[in-house]
Every structure is written in structure tokens, then in C-alpha cells.
A and B are shown apart, each in its own frame.
Chain A
């Protein structure tokens, strides 16, 4: 199916575990983004990528790692999950900086 998809949709993990959230887009968009949704903060940028093998930090990168070996995939890894990382995570992609971004369905992550 064309579009941008995130997996899993829901995840419960324990404190200290490593967890990876997947994001896949079929448009070959250059730019991809990871955001977290937090009450009172809206959408905060964690990491973004301008192209394969090019990534950069956003507002709240601590505790997260990304990679982009292929244009279509942009996985987000929590190296050692903490309760403060409980959130809804959105992946997005866009063709360029002045074109609209398309968002995935979101992944609800709970760290217990």
C-alpha cells in the first residue's frame, strides 16, 4: 500500500529495555521526521533526516537513536526505555522543506 506506515501501533515495554519503532514510506520522500506528542507540548521533533545516511537532532533527541540506511525506512530506537518516554510517536515524510509533510498513524508507547 502506498503511504507512510508505522509499526507497531501499540507497544508496552519495561524500563531499561531497548525498543525500536519502525517507519516506512513508499513515496521516496527525501525528508523523514520523528515526533513525540506530549500534553502541553504539542508535537516535539526528536530527529529528522534529509536523505539516506543523513540524520540530525531535533528538540528532544536524548535517549533516542535513528538510522536511515534506505530512503524508505527511518527506524527510531529507544536505547534504554524510561517512563518519561511514554508517549505517542509520529513519523512523517516530505519531499522537501517547502512541501507538505505526511504523517503516519502514530505508535502509542507505554513504558512501565
Chain B
């Protein structure tokens, strides 16, 4: 079982603030790093899957970076909006296909 740590556990920001979260994972035997967005009463939806050290991906106001050598990934949200309120999950993927999720960062954006 991979030890996946996400911080902070929860975050409250004002509309318009930019924010970022961290996902830490074992750097040995790295294969892929997944980020998912999970709204209350819905199913998780994929944001990014990253495989290369130094990878940066962007989708609208959300972006992510990956450092496989030190075992961390950052997720950034620029100009947070109330609709960004959700739990953000990361999961290191393995060559065997397992996906173990971290406990997530719960983001609340106040108008």
C-alpha cells in the first residue's frame, strides 16, 4: 500500500484567491500521478494524469506540477470560484494498475 499524503486536509478561501495543495508519495517505483476533483454527492472526475518528472498540466484555471525525484505534486487554482469547491484527490498509479488515493484536500470557496 502506497503512503500518499495530501495537505492541507481542508482549506477555506475567498472568491478570487489563488490556492495550492500538495500531494506527497513514495518516489521509488514511480509510474504515474493522478489528480481528481470530487464534488459532494457526485463521482470523482479526473483532472490530470502526469507521468514525467517536471511535467506541468493546465485545464482552465487549474494547473499541476510533478516532481518524481522528490515525490510530490502541486495542484494550483488561480482565482478560485465558488464552483471550485470540492475535494481534490491525488493517487499514484502503479505498473500493476493499482490506484491508491490520498484522503484529499477539501476546498471551500466563499463568495
Contacts and interface: CB of A to CB of B under 8 A. Distances in A.
- Decide if the interface of chain B is mainly helix, strand, loop or mixed: loop
Interface of B: 1, 31-32, 34, 36, 43-46, 49, 51, 87, 89, 93-104
Contacts of A42: 87, 89, 101-104
Given A48-B99, A97-B31, A101-B34, A43 B43 contact: no
A84 interface: no
A105 interface: yes
A100 B34 contact: yes
Closest CB pairs A-B (n = 3): A100-B46, A98-B32, A103-B43
A104 B43 contact: yes
A68 to B, nearest CB: 13
Contacts of A97: 31-32, 93-99
* Interface size, A (range): 20 to 34
A105 B42 CA distance: 7
23 contacts: A31-B97, A33-B99, A40-B103, A41-B103, A42-B102, A42-B104, A45-B100, A50-B96, A50-B97, A58-B98, A58-B100, A59-B1, A90-B43, A92-B99, A97-B94, A97-B95, A97-B96, A97-B97, A98-B51, A100-B49, A102-B46, A103-B43, A104-B43
Given A98-B49, A98-B93, A45 B99 contact: yes
Contacts, number: 68
B79 to A, nearest CB: 25
A29 to B, nearest CB: 10
Given A44-B101, A100-B46, A102-B46, 20 more contacts: A30-B97, A31-B97, A35-B101, A42-B87, A42-B102, A42-B104, A43-B101, A45-B100, A45-B101, A48-B98, A56-B96, A58-B100, A92-B44, A97-B98, A98-B31, A100-B34, A100-B49, A101-B99, A104-B43, A106-B43
A96 interface: yes
Contacts of A100: 34, 46, 49
B46 A101 contact: yes
A45 B98 contact: yes
